[in-house]
Amino acid sequence: MPNEAGGAECVSSLSERELIGRIHRRLPPPPDWLVVGIGDDAAVVEPARNRLDVLSVDAIVEGVHFDRSFTPPAAIGHRALAVNLSDLAAMGATPRLALLSLALPGTLPIAEFEEMIASLTAMAARVRMTVVGGNLTRIEGPLVLDVTVIGTVKRRQTLTRTGARPGDDLYVTGCIGGAAAGLQMLRAGMAPSDTTELCIRRYLYPEPRVRLGALLGRNHAATACMDLSDGLADAVRQLTEASGVGATIDGNALPIEPSAKQWFAEHGRDAVNESITGGDDYELLFAARPRQRGRLKAAERHGDAPLTRIGSCTADPAVILSQDGVNRTMPFGYHHFR
């Protein structure tokens, strides 16, 4: 059945079973611990020995989390899994399995469906994660990708948001602001070029800090950790509130992506503000005792991103952003509903 754009075959011309078959074909041979895989009422798996299960679900919705006019299908599939992997990383967990629940508009071209799935399953394979099952449904509305992931972690290596203490240093992985700038570039209709490619890539294909999260859990260096899905400002507020502390963040120390900083400057926007309130940077924020700096150096060497100290936790519950000698209250981040 041709779609509105004319010509391309769309998913409404296939049965649910045929679509599931197209996902199934892209999956590598299942591991031993998968007792019953795709094709039954449910998947059956053997639990990992001496590990806790870490569970997360996150949905990305067309029109809310991505705009199909400038987000290629491969980026949609990538992001759907990446946002979930970031949650596992924030707990110190190693990815194990995923369930995909997709609500597809009937007019979605089959080719786009295939690109989305190819990208998602490629990322799953890269982090050695098995897609064990899922669900497909039609929707009269936007495309929705809902992914459930399960990772594993040893009990004493679990990272939560609640363990930060006054005096702990606060760190962020990688760079911030790149995704927010990338989204602005895409909205402005910019094509990838020398100056925009990195930020656009950061927005479209975020790299969750899977390796670093697991390392931080394993070497017991972090006292609390969470990911930056809704921006650094929001993450600092949430982590400190969960831990019952406050924080002072050094605005001059923030690792802002250089090409993002340039973009913000060229467009008369405040780089710090844009970088801490913009979402979509799937980096980790974590707290660590000052004496753990040696362990953090080791994690940085073996991990997949630099670590930057951006401030410290305080007994006073206020969350302060200190920049060029001026202190102000940390701005609020992005909220979905209000």
Binders of its own copies in range 130-159 (CB under 8 A): 132-142, 144, 146, 148, 150-151, 153, 155, 158
Choice between 43 and 296, CB closer to its own copies? 43
d(CA 151, CA 316) in angstroms, rounded, equals: 35
Nearest CA among 291, 14, 65, 54 for reference residue 160: 54
Q: Which is nearer to its own copies, 160 or 219 (CB)?
A: 160
The residue whose two tokens read 């070029």 is: 193
Q: Residue 32 CB, nearest distance to its own copies (Å)?
A: 13
Query: Which one-letter amino acid corresponds to residue 270?
Result: D
> Among 6-14, 168-176, 312-320, 323-331, which window interacts with its own copies (CB under 8 A)?
6-14
Q: Does 79 bind its own copies (CB under 8 A)?
A: no
- Contact present, 333 and 230 (Cβ < 8 Å): yes
- The span from the CA of 166 to the CA of 164, in Å, is 7
> Locate tokens 């995923």: which residue?
98
Residue 101 in contact with its own copies, rule: CB under 8 A: yes
Cβ-based nearer residue to its own copies, 234 or 274:
234
Residue from 5, 42, 191, 326 in contact with its own copies (CB under 8 A): 42
Judged by phi (left if over 0) then psi (alpha if -120 to 50, else beta), residue 213 lies in alpha
Residue 9 touching its own copies (CB under 8 A): no
Closest CA to 253 of 190, 170, 333: 170
Site string for its own copies, 105-124 (x = CB under 8 A): -x------------------
Among 78, 114, 120, 161, binds its own copies (CB under 8 A): 161
Segment 191 to 250, residues that bind its own copies, using CB under 8 A? 225-227, 242
Nearest Cα residue to 309 out of 325, 324, 293: 293
Distance, in Å, from the CA atom of 294 to the CA atom of 296, rounded to the nearest integer, reads: 5
38 binds its own copies (CB under 8 A): no
Q: Which of 23, 77, 79, 87 binds its own copies (CB under 8 A)?
A: 87
35 binds its own copies (CB under 8 A): yes
Min dist. Cβ of residue 335 to its own copies (A)? 5
Q: Compute the distance between CA of residue 258 and CA of residue 192 in angstroms, rounded to an integer.
A: 16
- Whole-number Å distance between alpha carbons of 22 and 291: 51
Residue 168 or 272 with smaller CB distance to its own copies: 168
Among residues 36, 118, 122, 190, the one that binds its own copies under rule CB under 8 A? 36
Binding range to its own copies, per CB under 8 A, among 88-96, 185-193, 275-283, 319-327: 88-96
How many angstroms separate the first and last alpha carbons of the chain? 40
Nearer to its own copies, 12 or 219 (CB): 12
Determine, following the binding rule CB under 8 A, whether residue 252 of this chain makes contact with its own copies: no
Closest alpha carbon to 169 in 311, 306, 308:
311
